[in-house]
Structure formats: C-alpha cells, structure tokens
Chains A and B, each alone.
Chain A
Amino acid sequence: MTPRQRLWFFAVAAAGLVACYLWAFAGLPGFGSYPGPYGQEILRQAVAQTHATGVVSAVNFEYRGFDTVGEEFILFAAAAGMSVVLRRLREERATQPADEAESRTVPPSSGAVRVAALLLVGPTAVLGWWLASHAQASPSGGFQGGVILASAFILIYLSGEFLTFRRLSPVALLDAVEAVGAGGFVAIGLAAIAMNLPYLDNYLPLGTIPGAVSSSGTIALISFFVGIEVAAAFVLIVGELLDQTLLRRRSA
C-alpha cells in the first residue's frame, strides 16, 4: 500500500469514526449539566466521613481504594516489564558508545544548565515529598508527588552527573523501595481484614480537624506508600532507558 492509498483509507475510516463520535456525544447530557449521582453524593458525604478535604484523594484512596491497588500494580508491572524487555541479551555488552563522528566536538552542557538543574534538585524533592504526604488536604497525592520526587533524581542526570544519578539510585535499592511502596498499600488493606473489617477499611483515627496532616486515617498513609512506589518506579524506568545508551551489540 502506498502512503497515498493509506491516507485515503484513513480518511474514510476517520470520517466514519467522527460520525460515530458525534452521534454518541449528541446523547450525552450537555456540558456543565452532568447529573453524576455518585459524584454529588460523595461530595455531600466525603469530608464528614473521611476528614479529607481533598475529595479526589478520598475517592482514590478510600471509596475506590481497591481499584487503586490495581492501578498501582499496573505501574509496578510496567517497570518490571521494562526490565524484562530491556534485559541485557547474551550478545550485548556494556561499552562506552563508539564515537561515530570523531571530528565533531561535543559541546559540554552549559554551566547555566548544570547550576540550574542542581539548584532545583532540593526544592523538587521537597515539593514531591510534600505533595505525596498532603493528599488529604490539597490537590495532591502519591501519584503526583511520586512523579515529582522522581524528577529530582532526573535533574541530577540533567546536570550532567550520570554516574551520580546511578550511584544515588542503585537498582537493588529502587526495587526494594518499589516493593515496600506497593506492598505497604496491600498490607494496610490486609490489616483491616485481620481486625475483622472489610478490606482497605479506614481503621485509623480520622483526626479532629478535616484537612490537617494528621487527619483522614489510612488515606494519608496509603498516599504516602503510593508516593514512594511511584517515585521508585519512575527512576527505575528512566534509568533503564538511560542504561541502554551504554549497551551495544557485539556484532552486526
């Protein structure tokens, strides 16, 4: 099939898809008037029930906490899957990448980039930690905080310190942290069963002031475990991809 034929084929299919979409959307309630029975009911109940002022976190880590366990393990499986797909094959070895244009000089990363990246490492790590531990109060939570925490490590790489990045994030440690994060979530749920409560029931004291750091019981704790799991998974994923530049096939 030539590219031109393919484009025509696509145009016909896309026209059909657009028609179906428009037909489906015509049946939706208009923008801004969604009756959403579950959402409105949760908005009425959530703050009194969970003492979390962040209702999205309450939904994620309490009302549909069981789904979020699955969601967390999707990320866990992806990181594990990458390690399998990118494992070192028998005919591969780690070498410095061959310089394929020897006459070209590689400009070193500029001083401004290095200093800016290094300066941002600390604030980024603090911001990530803060987000991961304040799911109960504000628009934050383990998933967002974990990603930002991971970017603190990636900033170290950006500042030109690949070796420091690798030394600060050894794979064995990352694997352990990821396992603790994922396992912690499951263990919090199992502890409820041990107390004769439903799985992931919120059995910790809810605190007196909704939205305080100490409020919302298991929601805050789960969010924290999710945070370290996500951070470890992302550092692992980025590290796996960076390692690939050092791997070369021995023969063509």
Chain B
Amino acid sequence: MIKTEALTRRYGALTAVDAVTFTVSPGEVLGFLGPNGAGKTTTMRMLAGFISATSGSASICGHDVETDSLAARACLGYLPEGAPAYGEMTVRDFLDFIADLRRLRGASRTRIDGVIERLQLQGVLDQTIETLSKGFRRRVGLAQAIMHDPPVLILDEPTDGLDPNQKHEVRALINAMAGDKTVIISTHILEEVDAVCTRAIIIARGRIVADDTPLGLAARSRYHNAVSMSLARAEQLPAARAAVAALPSVAEVEVDEAAARLTALPRDGRPLLGELSELAASNGIALTELHLEAGRLDEVFRTITA
C-alpha cells in the first residue's frame, strides 16, 4: 500500500512535484507516465526516502517515509533510475551485500539463488558489474530490488536500455511477481502500460493530469471505437472516402493514400463497425482488412501532456 497526500517538492523557484495525491493498493500495478522532467523520478525518490518532501506526506505500508523511514524502506524494493550499483564488485558479492543489509539469514538466504535464477544472472555471477552490458546491469538492479520479497515495489524505468526480448522478460517478471504486491513502475514506453499495468497515472509539470485504467485512458482517444479499413484496390479510395464521410455517425475520415487505408472516427464514440462493413459490401468495395481501434495511448499522452 502506497499513499501520498499533497506531496510537493520544490527546487528553488521550480516546483518539480506539485501536490500529488494518490493511493496504490495491493494487487495494483501502477504505471507512472509523463514526459522527461515531469516529476516521475522526484516522486519516486521521495517515496523511497532518498529525498525529502518540501510539504505533504507519503507512506509505505502505513509507515511514513519521513518519520518512520527505516520501517518504510524495509517494506520497499526500489530500483533507482539508471540502476546504479558498485561497479567494482562482482554480481555475487553485490547481491550478498544487499542480502546482508536486508537481513536475509538462514532459510531466507536461499532467496538469493531464486532471484539469480529468475533474472538469469547465473552466467555473470563472477563478473564485476562495471563490465556488464546495460541489460545485465538493469537485471542486477532488479535482483537487488526484489531480493527480500518486499510487499511494495517501486521501479524507475525498469526496462530502459533493454532489447525487445529482455523487455518482454522483465515485463513477464513484473506480471508474475505482481500478485498481491503494490507496484509502481515509471516508463515512457506506452506499450508497457498495456502489457503490465492495471492503472496509469500521467504526470506533467509535476501535477497528475490523468489517473485511469489503460483502457479508460485509451477511451479518451479520438480513435476510441474508430474503424480502419484497408482497400484491396487503391482506385476505389476516393469513392469509399466519400461514402464513409457521408455516414451520419462518422465525424471525420483520415486517409493514408500510400497504404490505401482509411480511418473513420466516430461521432460521440458511436459504434461504426457494423455500418461500415455493410457499406463496403453494398458499394462493392473490396477490403483486405477491417479493424476496430480501442484508442491510441500515444495520442492521448500527447494531448494530455502537451
């Protein structure tokens, strides 16, 4: 459980985080989105107890991050931005060091091996961290964060710098671990929100500008319930466009001439798919594809944060 109440951080005249209030419950995976410099990292650092708030408060598992900082940190697994670590240490020594600080002894000490296996670090255990690729470093950072099986996880850009396969693995890992944990991940990769998050907060200039499920966010898009159709014969495009535009439930038509594709945007979010497929059949327009869009997150993101 993570709770913030009017959390604010100022640097001189600049307000990096401005009265941010939210609650994340166990079982939720919250995606923290926003342009660079929006205040994502500052918010996460305040939650992790690394910097203190100018005003407002935050708590982790009921422990205030300022007044009961050690208890809050004990409940938290935190991956700082860029996954910093001690470069001259080997992966094994580093994980042992973290396990010592996390007081993993006796039976729970075997968690190290589980974490190593989960993040596939077996091959690099005796390499120093500074010699590792970016992907491996990130995985060492993740291993450090999940080592003590914390009820709350805060991961600052966990997939930054990973290749598509590694991204997929890390997302699968987060999904597998989520369960009844409380998770916040920050990202500017929007597909990640669909892949792992149950909820998304968009933050811009230090303020929360949207707080919704990924589907709910997508529904704010102009493209929500829009229908794209690809034509088999490009010469039918002008006729098809005119016919589609004439429909009363269509607000706007976008045409991609090169791909012989047109996208019909609905008026007031009315469903279009049925009407359009009938129209195509009755006008003799041959289609290679007919596609219903849920909405485009990137378009919502740009509209909200611009």
Partners in one complex: no
Binding site for B on A (CB under 8 A): none
